[in-house]
Amino acid sequence: MTRGRRVVSIVGATGLVGSEIARVLLARRFPLSDLRLFASGRNPERSVEIGGRRLPVRPFRVDEVAGSDVCFLAAGGEFSRRRARAIAARGVTVIDNSSAFRMYDDVPLVVPEVNPEAISFHRGIIANPNCSTIQMVVVLAPLHRRWRLRKVVVSTYQAVTGAGLEAAGELASQSEAFLAGRETPARAFPHPIAFNLIPHIGPFDETGFTFEETKLMNETRKIMRSEAIEVVATAVRVPVFRGHSEAVHAEFDLTVDPLAAREILKASPGVEVVDDPEKARYPLPRKASGRDVTYVGRLRLDPTCNRALCMWIVSDNLRKGAALNAVQIAERLG
Ligand SMILES: NC(=O)c1ccc[n+]([C@@H]2O[C@H](COP(=O)([O-])OP(=O)(O)OC[C@H]3O[C@@H](n4cnc5c(N)ncnc54)[C@H](OP(=O)(O)O)[C@@H]3O)[C@@H](O)[C@H]2O)c1
């Protein structure tokens, strides 16, 4: 590291998350002495355009990542499982975007607004949480500090970019084909996603929940450091390009007040309250796209329980849900 400047590598730099990480690093003026971009090498001529510049992307080789201070992994869970430990063993701090290590005891799972102190316990790998988890805990953590969260019931409405570059292309091509009266086969999802909703993200387990749902349930407890919080999730893929939305019902130990909740959230870092239903103002994925903050609105008391709040949370899955959160972790590394 030269005078606080870091050598940073990104593996998966041609993908949605990896290229967004590069964009966020440059936009936030992360102190870089070198930025090294890697991908699979299936197409050795690849490059990415970041901030108006074309940057070369090389095939991944562990030796070329070895001299880095920080390495962001955004090449999928299988890649991380095979390579993350080897990269960390070379003295590189790995920030992993996949789900491979998130629930390991020796791997901190970090949302800087919620549990930044966990970063200092890392032993080479830090996990970036699931996109749906990040936006939910950014909003729920400040309310938990005031009223102690007991139970969350959440339904997600997840954009296609959450499933990668090819999936995003599939929504575009299927929409065009559908409007032209043709059906095209589903590849990225179990069913056509254009003009559809699919309550199936990741494989089902023996209890009937999907992996996306169990990630949201388990990761929330780990980040909030409370095994007592019950979380029940239904995850749905929707034909939106960018920006995940969530309908959240949060039950607390103490009596809550929606006006006080609004004031708490207005003062919370990374959160913006958009809540004027009379004027049709509430969070929307198209407005959240390309933005850093997590939006919350439709805040209201559960009429059946004065300890529970209903709300609508929206954030850009590629920004706070992935790249921005990962870069914020890197910014806090010593
Ligand atoms: N999309 C989201 O909203 C989101 C949010 C949170 C976390 N994540 C996680 O972030 C990771 C990346 O997701 P994504 O949406 O960016 O996927 P993506 O758009 O499909 O990109 C995948 C990237 O991984 C690279 N890659 C694949 N196999 C590789 C290998 N063997 N060696 C080196 N590079 C390899 C690809 O390179 P080529 O171009 O050479 O194939 C590409 O750059 C996944 O683990 C995902 O679960 C995604």
- pLDDT for 234: 98
- pLDDT for 2: 45
Confidence of residue 1 (pLDDT cuts 50, 70, 90): very low
- Per the prediction, the chain carries an average pLDDT of 96
Percent of the chain with pLDDT over 70: 99
Confidence of residue 51 (pLDDT cuts 50, 70, 90): confident
Residue 185, pLDDT > 50, answer yes
Q: Would you call 195 helix, strand, or coil by DSSP?
A: coil
Ligand 1 pocket test, candidate residues 9, 17, 47, most atoms within 8 A of CB: 17
Summarize pLDDT for 196-219 with one digit per residue, the tens.
999 999 999 999 999 999 999 999
Summarize pLDDT for 164-175 with one digit per residue, the tens.
999 999 999 999
Q: What is the mean pLDDT of residues 132-154?
A: 98
Distance CA 288, CA 291 (A): 5
Asked if residue 129 has its Cβ within 6 Å of ligand 1, the reply is: no
**Residues 233/213, Cβ–Cβ less than 8 Å:** yes
**129 alpha carbon to ligand 1 midpoint, in Å?**
15
Q: For the purposes of burial, counting CB atoms within 10 Å of the CB of 225, is it exposed (0-12), middle (13-18) or buried (19 or more)?
A: exposed
**Ligand 1 nearest-atom number relative to CA 80:** 45
**Residues 291/57, Cβ–Cβ less than 8 Å:** no
HSE on the CB side for 17, CA within 13 Å?
Answer: 28
Which stretches does DSSP call E strand in the chain? 6-11, 32-39, 47-50, 53-56, 58-59, 70-73, 93-96, 125-127, 149-158, 230-237, 244-252, 271-273, 294-301, 308-315
For residue 239, CA distances in Å to 20, 99, 144, 168, 190 come to 21, 23, 32, 9, 14
Distance CA 130, CA 209 (A): 16
The two tokens of residue 122 are: 């890392």
Q: Find the range with the poorest average confidence among 3-7, 21-25, 132-136, 225-229.
A: 3-7
- Which protein residue has the closest C-alpha to ligand 1 atom 31? 40
Asked if residue 15 has its Cβ within 6 Å of ligand 1, the reply is: yes
For 61, residues 6+ apart whose C-beta sits below 8 A from its C-beta are: 38
Can you give the three-state secondary structure of 218-251, one letter per residue?
HHHHHHHCCCCCEEEEEEEECCCCCCEEEEEEEE
Confidence of residue 43 (pLDDT cuts 50, 70, 90): confident
Asked if residue 162 has its Cβ within 6 Å of ligand 1, the reply is: yes
Asked if residue 201 has its Cβ within 6 Å of ligand 1, the reply is: no
For 31, residues 6+ apart whose C-beta sits below 8 A from its C-beta are: 4, 5, 6
Asked if residue 161 has its Cβ within 6 Å of ligand 1, the reply is: yes
Conformation bin of residue 149: beta by default, left when phi > 0, alpha when psi is -120 to 50: beta
Tell me which residues are annotated as active site: 131, 244
Asked if residue 158 has its Cβ within 6 Å of ligand 1, the reply is: no
Q: For the purposes of burial, counting CB atoms within 10 Å of the CB of 297, is it exposed (0-12), middle (13-18) or buried (19 or more)?
A: buried
For 216, residues 6+ apart whose C-beta sits below 8 A from its C-beta are: 130, 132, 133, 136, 154, 156, 231, 233, 235
Q: What is the mean pLDDT of residues 88-107?
A: 98
Ligand 1 pocket test, candidate residues 73, 97, 245, most atoms within 8 A of CB: 97
Residue 150, pLDDT > 80, answer yes
Residue 38 φ then ψ, to 5°: -130, 150
